[in-house]
Amino acid sequence: MTEKYIIAHDMGTSSNKAVLFTIHGEIVQTAQKSYPVYHPSLGFAEQDPSNWWDAVCETTRTVLEESGIATEEVAGITFCSQMQTFVPVDREGTPLMRAILWLDTRAADIMREKLWTPPRVLGYNIFHLLRFLRITGGSPGHTGKDPIGKVLWLKEYKPEIFLNTYKFLDMKDFIIHRLTGKMVKSVDLGVVWWLMDTRRNRNCWHPKLCSIAGIEESKLPEIRESGTIAGNLNGDSAEQMGLIPGIPVIVGAGDITAAAIGSGAIDEGELHIRIGTSGGVAGHFKNRKIDIPNYAGCIGSAHPQKYYLAIGAQETTGASLDWLKNNVLCKGDPREDDEIYSELNDLARNTEPGSEGLVFTPWLFGERCPLDDDTVRAGFFNMGLNHSRRHFIRAVMEGVACNIRWAMGVLENLYSPVSELNMVGGGARSDVWCQIMADVTNRTIHQVTDPHHSAAKGVALLASMTLGYIDQWEDIKNYIKINRTFYPNQDNRELYGKLFREFKLIYKQNKKWYARMNASKQD
Radius of gyration from C-alpha coordinates of the chain: 22
Q: Are strands 444-448 and 420-424 parallel, antiparallel or unpaired?
A: parallel
Q: Which residues pair with 359 in a beta bridge?
A: 381
Q: Which residue has the higher pLDDT, 337 or 17?
A: 17
At residue 34, does pLDDT exceed 80? yes
Q: Are 308 and 300 in contact (CB under 8 A)?
A: yes
pLDDT at residue 89, rounded to an integer: 98
What pLDDT is attached to residue 82? 93
Max mean pLDDT among 46-60, 114-128, 278-292 falls in 46-60
Domain spans, the chain? 5-251, 265-518
Which distant-in-sequence residues (6+ apart) come within 8 Å of 253 by Cβ?
Answer: 80, 186, 188, 189, 226, 261, 302, 458, 459, 462
pLDDT at residue number 500: 98
Residue 1 has pLDDT above 70, yes or no: no
Q: Show the beta-strand stretches assigned E in 402-474.
A: 420-424, 444-448
Taking residues 159-167, what's their average pLDDT? 97
- Whether 102 has a pLDDT exceeding 50, the answer reads yes
Beta-strand pair 74-81/5-11:
parallel
pLDDT score of 174:
98
Q: What percent of the chain has pLDDT over 70?
A: 99
Question: Rounded to whole angstroms, how far apart are CA atoms 222 and 248?
Answer: 18
pLDDT confidence band for 137 (50 / 70 / 90): confident
For residue 370, the model assigns a pLDDT of: 95
Find the mean pLDDT for residues 204-220: 93
- The mean pLDDT value for 438-452 works out to 98
What is the SS3 assignment for 234? coil
Give the pLDDT band of residue 185 (cuts 50, 70, 90).
very high
pLDDT at 212: 87
Q: Are 420 and 445 in contact (CB under 8 A)?
A: yes
Higher pLDDT, 1 or 443: 443
Query: 452-494, pLDDT tens digit by residue?
Result: 999 999 999 999 999 999 999 999 999 999 999 999 999 999 9
Residue 318 three-state SS: helix
Q: Is 468 exposed, middle or buried (0-12, 13-18, 19+ CB in 10 A)?
A: exposed
pLDDT recorded at residue 214: 87
Q: Is residue 519 predicted with pLDDT exceeding 90?
A: no
- Quick check: 142 and 123 in contact, CB under 8 A? yes
Look up residue 311 and give its DSSP letter. Answer: E
Residue 500: which H helix or E strand, with range? helix 493-518
314 with 277: CB under 8 angstroms?
no
Mean pLDDT taken over the chain: 95
User: CATH homologous superfamily for 5-251?
Assistant: ATPase, nucleotide binding domain (3.30.420.40)
Structure confidence at residue 522 as a pLDDT band (50, 70, 90): very low
The residues pairing with 380 across neighbouring beta strands, listed in sequence order, are 360
Q: What is the pLDDT of residue 520?
A: 64
Mean pLDDT of 347-355: 98
Q: Assign 258 a pLDDT band (cuts: 50, 70, 90).
A: very high
> What is the second-level CATH architecture of the domain 265-518?
2-Layer Sandwich (3.30)
Whole-angstrom distance, CA of residue 105 vs CA of residue 112? 13
pLDDT value of position 521: 47
Given this chain, do its domains 5-251 and 265-518 carry the same CATH topology?
yes
Q: What is the pTM of this model?
A: 0.92
